Chain A
Amino acid sequence: MISNHLNSYLILALFLLIAGIYGLIQHRSFIGMLVSTELILNGAGINFMAFNRFLAPDPAVGQVITLFIMGIAAAEAAIVVSFILAVFRKYRSIDPDEVKELHG
């Protein structure tokens, strides 16, 4: 029963994490980077739920933290999308390399 082992969930969450890291570096647009961040957050949510299901004594903690992650992700997506709109209006571009004013 693979669906009853902790490791299968952890490896699935690990796959989401590395897919997010890959996409975050490789995508050439702000929206693509935001989407990759959502993948990473989902991997974290699966991890919390898996540890909660198999290791934690109290079954509600993982669900609570996963719901917090969802709330933060929603707030973050709203802020970043409006940010992208503001940047697009000023620079006429959503390519991160062309938005140079704050380059370090």
Chain B
Amino acid sequence: MTFYQIIAEGLFFAFVILVILGSLITIRAKILMQTVLGLAVAFLGVAGIYFYLGSMFLTLMQILVYVGAICIVLIFGIMVGYTPTEVAEKAIKDWRNKFLAVLSAVTAFLLILACVLKTDWIPAVADDRNFSAAHLGQEFLYTYCLAFELISVILLIAIIGAIILARGGAGGMITDPPAGKEVAAVQEEKGEAST
């Protein structure tokens, strides 16, 4: 094993530790903001794992989409509507949920680990090892064209639905309120948020 291979292995372990530590913070943290920050750490580790699996493009997309977009959305969700102390205390008190969680997690872990270790994976005959983004783009626009378009439609519908839900549902949508009423409504919301 050469010097560079040792460095590569060490980096791989660093990414694995990043994933494990991040997910442990995610499931053990008592404060919701720490949960989301742990999730960001785990996502960065997963991006490194994608790099070791041969795809530079997916590494960048992982950082861009998960760390850059989803974590920010979650942080906004926490900052807009959230009561920190109550949730934290309940997480400590509730032992029944913790028991059920440990039970199901350990069972799933043992069952799937047995499957993984017992299976004899047979590698397929590789036609080419072309991991480039150009090849990926061709696959997207020729072979998987329909699924690609459907994903874009799903994203559009999800964003429109999210806006409608966040504005109070189809019935309670603010259509065109007079200026004075709008200011009063904003002040009322601010008063509610501070209580």
Evaluate contact between A86 and B108: CB separation under 8 angstroms: no
Select from chain A the residue with minimum beta-carbon distance to B12: A3
Q: Which residue of B87, B97, B131 is within 8 Å of A63 (Cβ)?
A: B131
Closest CB in chain A relative to B157 CB, distance in Å = 8
Residues of B in contact with A, size category: 35 or more
How far is B124's CA from A48's CA once the two chains are assembled, in angstroms?
A: 15
Residues of A in contact with B, size category: 35 or more
Query: A residues within 8 A CB of B173?
Result: none
Evaluate contact between A81 and B19: CB separation under 8 angstroms: no
Evaluate contact between B139 and A64: CB separation under 8 angstroms: yes
**Residues of A participating in the B interface, judged by any CB pair closer than 8 Å:** 1-3, 6-12, 14-29, 31-32, 34-36, 38-39, 42, 45-46, 49-50, 52-61, 63-64, 66-68, 70-79, 81-86, 88-89, 93-95
Assuming A16-B46, A50-B53, what are 5 further A-B pairs, CB within 8 angstroms? Answer: A18-B105, A22-B105, A42-B66, A85-B80, A94-B81
Query: A residues within 8 A CB of B8?
Result: 3
A-B Cβ contacts below 8 A, count: 233
Q: Which residue of A15, A38, A75 is within 8 Å of B39 (Cβ)?
A: A38
B74 interfacial contact with A, CB 8 Å: yes
Select from chain A the residue with minimum beta-carbon distance to B62: A70
How far is B80's CA from A89's CA once the two chains are assembled, in angstroms?
A: 10
Q: Which residue of B19, B49, B101 is within 8 Å of A22 (Cβ)?
A: B101
| A9 and B49 contact, Cβ closer than 8 Å, known pairs A55-B124, A73-B70 | yes
Query: A residues within 8 A CB of B87?
Result: 28-29, 94-95
Select from chain B the residue with minimum beta-carbon distance to A68: B151
Q: Which residue of A1, A11, A64 is within 8 Å of B5 (Cβ)?
A: A1
Evaluate contact between A21 and B49: CB separation under 8 angstroms: no
Select from chain B the residue with minimum beta-carbon distance to A51: B121
Evaluate contact between A55 and B122: CB separation under 8 angstroms: yes
